[in-house]
Amino acid sequence: MIVTMAETVPNREIAEVLGIVRGNVVRARFFGRDFVAGLRNFVGGEVNEYSKLLAESREQALDRMTAHATSMGADAVISMRFTSAAIMEGTSEILAYGTAVRLV
């Protein structure tokens, strides 16, 4: 599956636009991780625990979006984007979305 943030796929022609595809993940913070992150926040520097959590969440959202595109018969996803939102205190959503297309 080709996934790109561009509006086209280089050297390929779009035969059909299938529609919007998406994949999302909602994650809650974990007390143990929060405790360590809080200590790290106190002394400064990168909060590795949250960086890792967000990286894993983005990959999972991307995998779900790609699976959605595959189920529609797509060859590629163009104009792919990530967004995030707070759902409630301590919980956030990562959303991957784009346009599923068939290529010539």
76-90 as b/e: b if 16+ CB within 10 A: bbbebeeeeeeeeee
Domain-located, residue 15: yes
When computed from its CA atoms, the radius of gyration of the chain, rounded to whole angstroms, is: 17
Nearest to 94 by CA among 103, 102, 85: 85
pTM of the model: 0.83
Inside any domain, residue 52? no
52-84 pLDDT tens trace? 888 999 999 999 999 999 999 999 999 999 999
Confidence at residue 29, expressed as pLDDT on a 0 to 100 scale: 66
Q: For strand 76-88 and strand 14-28, is the pairing parallel, antiparallel, or unpaired?
A: unpaired
What's the pLDDT score for residue 32? Answer: 56
What tokens does 35 get?
């405790």
Domain that holds residue 91: 2-28+58-103
Q: How many independent structural domains does the chain possess? A: 1
Asked whether residue 33 carries a pLDDT value surpassing 60, the answer given is: no
CATH number at residue 73: 3.30.110.70
94 occurs within a structural domain: yes
C-alpha to C-alpha distance for 95 and 89, rounded to whole angstroms: 18
